Amino acid sequence: MKSSGGRAFFAPTAPLAEPRQAFVKLRRLLRALLVHTVAMTSSLCTCARSKPALLSALLVLLLSCASPQTAADEPRAELLVLGTAQDAGVPQLGCRAACCEAVRAGRAPRRLVASVAIGLASSGQRWLIDCGPDIRAQEELLRGFPAGRSEIGPRPALCEGILLTHAHMGHIAGLLQLGREAAASRGLPVWCGPRLAALLRTQAPWHLLVEAGHIVVHEVLDGGVVPLAPGLSAEALQVPHRAECSETYAWIIRGPQRSVLYCPDIDRFSDFAGGVEALLARADCVLLDGTFWSLDEIPGRGTADIPHPPIARTLELLAGRGALVRKLFFTHLNHTNPAGWADSAQALAVRAAGARMLQDGQVLQL
């Protein structure tokens, strides 16, 4: 873990981007040095027997530095965490409880509404997953991401497209900022499930965005793949969640080096084929619904009303499955969730189990 420009960098199983780039530069320098050495040896070596052996050894070393493309040479793709809070953010509007007052007083972290960005440094392109009510603040986090992006003019494009998970407030409310009253985007692709696509095309005020050409809605079926760029794609995976307005998708992002499953909302794991283990097996790294630590946080409301799987229960289900647990980052945290406090007993329990709490501004390698 390290920080750069206010962002925390973490690669689940591979080295960080900066060491990879340094390695590539070092290898190129070594290759050039060896070429020069071979040339010098060829002209200076006078021993008839040693010259071929020496040249052969140097040639082998040179070829090893000119080996085919490795992971270090592949296009650098990253996932930037724009927010990790439940739909209403942290602190929450109207909340005067200790959990929110501590945030206002600076004793606990402020969290933006859950969303992530996918960036490709080689082209400067980026895409969002979800566009919630904190999109204005999250646009500031996007400055300079990815490293190769060029933002020209007084109103540069927000991104190359948006993947939506479902129709709840924290995931689509920010789309209204793309309309004529604000960013006035032009032809921005939006990918989502069929029910959500129908809602955006026919229901006010969303249909105004479509009719004015601010967004172009593309339906994606369960299991459908959106090719974002060479070596970078997003697969829709339908998961159980309250379906008053639309289906709910998790998105599996496949990059040059690894895959990340983004699933900020899901209901009972028993309603997903194969349960939590099957879900976690779909990717190398999983950003999972961690809305609550336990349902005791919301007095008078039970699992029938709030079917999000509590973090404590998720860890119980995965007891003894260390390899799966180590894939886990919990996100979409409710303002009441004590695991969101880094020094809380609940946060320590998450880390002791081998999982982690996702943080705003964190960067994962893809």
Q: 289 with 308: CB under 8 angstroms?
A: yes
Q: Which residue has the higher pLDDT, 131 or 307?
A: 131
Q: How far from chain centre, in Å, is Cα 273?
A: 24
Query: What are 228-244's pLDDT values in tens digits?
Result: 999 999 999 999 999 99
> Region 105-115: what's the mean pLDDT?
93
Give the H or E element holding residue 139.
helix 135-141
- pLDDT, one tens digit per residue, over 40-93 is 434 433 333 444 444 444 444 434 444 444 444 567 899 999 999 999 999 999
Q: What is the pLDDT of residues 123-161, one digit of tens each?
A: 999 999 999 999 999 999 999 999 989 888 888 999 999
The pLDDT mean for the chain works out to 84
- 217 compared with 53, residue with greater pLDDT: 217
Pairing between β-strand 115-120 and β-strand 77-83 as defined by DSSP bridges = antiparallel
Residue 19 CA to residue 76 CA, distance in Å, equals: 12
pTM of the model: 0.81
Give residue-wise pLDDT tens across range 248-297. 999 999 999 999 999 999 999 999 999 999 999 999 999 999 999 998 88
Going by C-beta distance under 8 Å and a sequence separation of 6 or more, which residues neighbour residue 110? 90, 91, 103
The pLDDT value recorded for residue 7 is: 53
State the Cα–Cα distance between residues 23 and 42, nearest whole angstrom: 28
CA-to-CA distance for 143 and 137, rounded, in angstroms? 11
- Tens of pLDDT, residue by residue over 163-197, are 999 999 999 999 999 999 999 999 999 999 999 99
Q: Are strands 362-365 and 77-83 parallel, antiparallel or unpaired?
A: antiparallel
If we measure between CA atoms, which residue out of 128, 113, 162, 118 comes closest to residue 291?
113
How confident is the model at residue 153, as a pLDDT? 84
pLDDT number for residue 152: 83
